[in-house]
Amino acid sequence: MRIFEETESQVRSYCRGWPALFVRSKDSHVFDEHGKSYLDFFAGAGALNYGHNHPVLKNALLEYLTDDHIVHSLDMYTEAKARFLETFRDVILRPRGLEYRVQFPGPTGTNAVEAALKIARKVTGRTTIARFTNSFHGMTLGSLAVTGNGRKRHGAGVPLEHTLTLPFDQYLDGSTPDLLWLRRLIEDSSSGVGLPAAVIVETVQGEGGINVASPEWLRALSLLCSEHDMLLIVDDVQMGCGRTGPFFSFEESGVVPDVVCLSKSLSGYGLPFAVTLLRPELDIWEPGEHNGTFRGYNPAFVTATAALDEFWRDGILRDTVDRNGSFVDSELRLIADEHADAGATVRGRGLARAVAFEDANIAGAVCRNAFERGLLLETAGSDDEVVKLLPPLTTHREDLDAGLSIVADSVRAARKELA
């Protein structure tokens, strides 16, 4: 591994907690150079909802590449893009009564967010984007301006402006109506805060620590947006593609956002891919006004299409996520009960689950212990005080069971270490 130490930038991060050389992967497992197997409850930070190297997607990809179909095409018309658009329309949009236009903004989540912010500002002619505490939307300057993490914001090296910070659901004391502040700010002409162009929100804050917004709160937010002509942008980069059960994480609430950002698990195979969905009347882009070299990466269209066909033409995956999510929740509650003296609490929805500890050192030690026991887990939250579980949605029940046992053991080990 000297090559990494000698040649790769110090910015590398996950490798520091997981000092192994990974070689192969399949379903919910990755394997290192010595053939050691790791159960993966990290899933590419949510980019591998269907597990590693799913055979159906793999076959579609290999076939496409073998036959010399076009790989890279910017925003030219290609057969693979046509099929993706048809499938996305038929499998995702129409059954849900949604009429979004699909923008290919570049292949990553932050590209999707940057495009969303631009169009919101263009459509409204206003500049401010309202954002929530503990949010995460990406690392390029536009997205970083609406991201909460102080260390990452500091990395910008310039002030991050044109935003308004708001308390996420339950951020204050629990008794305060959290949207009262926003309502007062925008209804008072002398608040000093002009009407935002849009509000950007994650329905479940992943990096923020699996903070779950209630459907009631989301509906109240959506209503406030429509009353005041602010766009509602849902960043579903981590929580979309079934992570919370339904394809879009906002479905449960009944809210219909003006703009939706998708990436991570959209290609289904770990290929860089992202879309920004826009209500048709918002699609006032001029041709090429936002562009990017890799916004027409056809292999990603192919695996994304295969994933939609495989997982979203029926309700099986969604039901599985609901069922397995409940199972994980109940298991985590047992763990939290056992460690109530450490202030352990459980959060989550679908297969985005977490145990939080009062002492962030515990969470760190849990992840370290889990790695030693063959389980990949990461921390989240303002102080990395949350142990986050994002298993592939396709993880078998026995693997979930095995992983949760490791979690339980790791918490016990962590607490013993820190006692």
Q: Please, which of residues 26-65 interact with a second copy by CB under 8 A? A: 26, 30, 33, 44-48, 52-53, 58, 61-62, 65
Strands 29-32 and 37-40: antiparallel
Q: What tokens were used for 139?
A: 């690392």
CA dihedral 346, 45, 297, 52 (to 10 degrees): -100
Candidates 56, 98, 139, 408; binder of a second copy (CB under 8 A) is 139
Q: How far is the CB of 170 from a second copy (least distance, A)?
A: 11
Q: Does 369 bind a second copy (CB under 8 A)?
A: no
216 vs 337, which CB is nearer to a second copy?
216
Q: Which of 96, 152, 228, 368 binds a second copy (CB under 8 A)?
A: 152
Work out which of 179, 361, 382, 396 binds a second copy, going by CB under 8 A.
Answer: 382
CB of 82 to a second copy, least distance (A): 5
C-beta of 78 vs 253, nearer to a second copy: 78
**Rounded-to-integer distance, Cα 66 and Cα 111, Å:** 29
By CB under 8 A, the residues from 290 to 319 that bind a second copy are: 290-294, 297, 299
Please report how close the Cβ of residue 172 comes to a second copy at its closest, in angstroms: 6
Give SS3 for 43.
helix
Using an 8 Å Cβ cutoff, are 256 and 226 in contact?
A: no
CA–chain centroid gap for 109, Å, is 9
Residue 401 in contact with a second copy, rule: CB under 8 A: no
Task: With H, G, I as helix, E, B as strand and everything else as coil, classify residue 31.
Answer: strand
Which residues inside 95-114 make contact with a second copy, applying CB under 8 A? 101-104, 106-111, 114
Number of CB atoms found within 10 A of residue 316's CB? 10
Residue 82 or 334: the one with the smaller Cβ distance to a second copy is: 82
Residue whose pair of structure tokens reads 């309202």 in the numeric block: 130
Binding flag, residue 391, a second copy (CB under 8 A): no
Whole-number Å distance between alpha carbons of 182 and 165: 9
Distant-in-sequence, close-in-space partners of 218: CB < 8 Å, separation ≥ 6: 201, 203, 250, 253, 255
Q: CB 128 → a second copy: shortest distance, Å?
A: 8
Q: Least distance to a second copy from the beta carbon of 97, Å?
A: 15
Kindly indicate which of the ranges 134-142, 249-257, 311-319, 328-336 contains the residues binding a second copy, using the contact rule CB under 8 A. Answer: 134-142
* 8 A C-beta contact, residue 259 and residue 276: yes
> Using the rule CB under 8 A, which residue among 37, 56, 73, 338 binds a second copy?
73
Structure tokens at 98: 């949604």
Q: Tell which one of 41, 247, 248, 269 touches a second copy (CB under 8 A).
A: 269
Query: Could you give the CA distance from residue 184 to residue 170 in angstroms, rounded to a whole number?
Result: 18
Does 334 contact a second copy by CB under 8 A?
Answer: no
Size of the site for a second copy (CB under 8 A): 149
From the list 34, 159, 341, 419, which residue makes contact with a second copy (rule: CB under 8 A)? Answer: 159
Of the residues 226, 229, 254, 284, which one makes contact with a second copy according to CB under 8 A = 284
Decide whether 52 or 318 has the Cβ nearer to a second copy. 52
Least Cα distance to 324 among 95, 49, 91 occurs for 49
Stretches 285-293, 342-350, 393-401, 407-415: which one binds a second copy (CB under 8 A)? Answer: 285-293
**Facing residues of 126 across strands?**
none
CA distance 136 to 143: 8
**Single residue of 35, 67, 97, 398 touching a second copy by CB under 8 A:** 67
Residue 118 CB neighbour total at 10 angstroms:
17
CB-count exposure of residue 285 (10 Å: 0-12, 13-18, 19+): middle
> For a second copy, which residue of 145, 321, 342, 400 counts as binding (CB under 8 A)?
145
Place of tokens 């479905």: 251
Among 10, 34, 340, 341, binds a second copy (CB under 8 A): 10
Binding a second copy (rule: CB under 8 A), the pick from 34, 35, 97, 175 is 175
Token pair of 208, please? 């923020």
74 touches a second copy by CB under 8 A: yes
Q: Examine residue 345 and tell whether it contacts a second copy (CB under 8 A).
A: no
What are the residues whose beta carbons fall under 8 Å from the beta carbon of 29, sequence distance 6 or more?
Answer: 37, 38, 39, 40, 52
165 near a second copy, rule: CB under 8 A:
yes
190-219 footprint of a second copy as x/- string (CB under 8 A): xxxxx--x----------x-----------
Which CB atom, from 251 or from 385, has the smaller least distance to a second copy?
Answer: 385
Residue 52: DSSP 8-state: B
Enter the tokens of residue 46: 């949510």
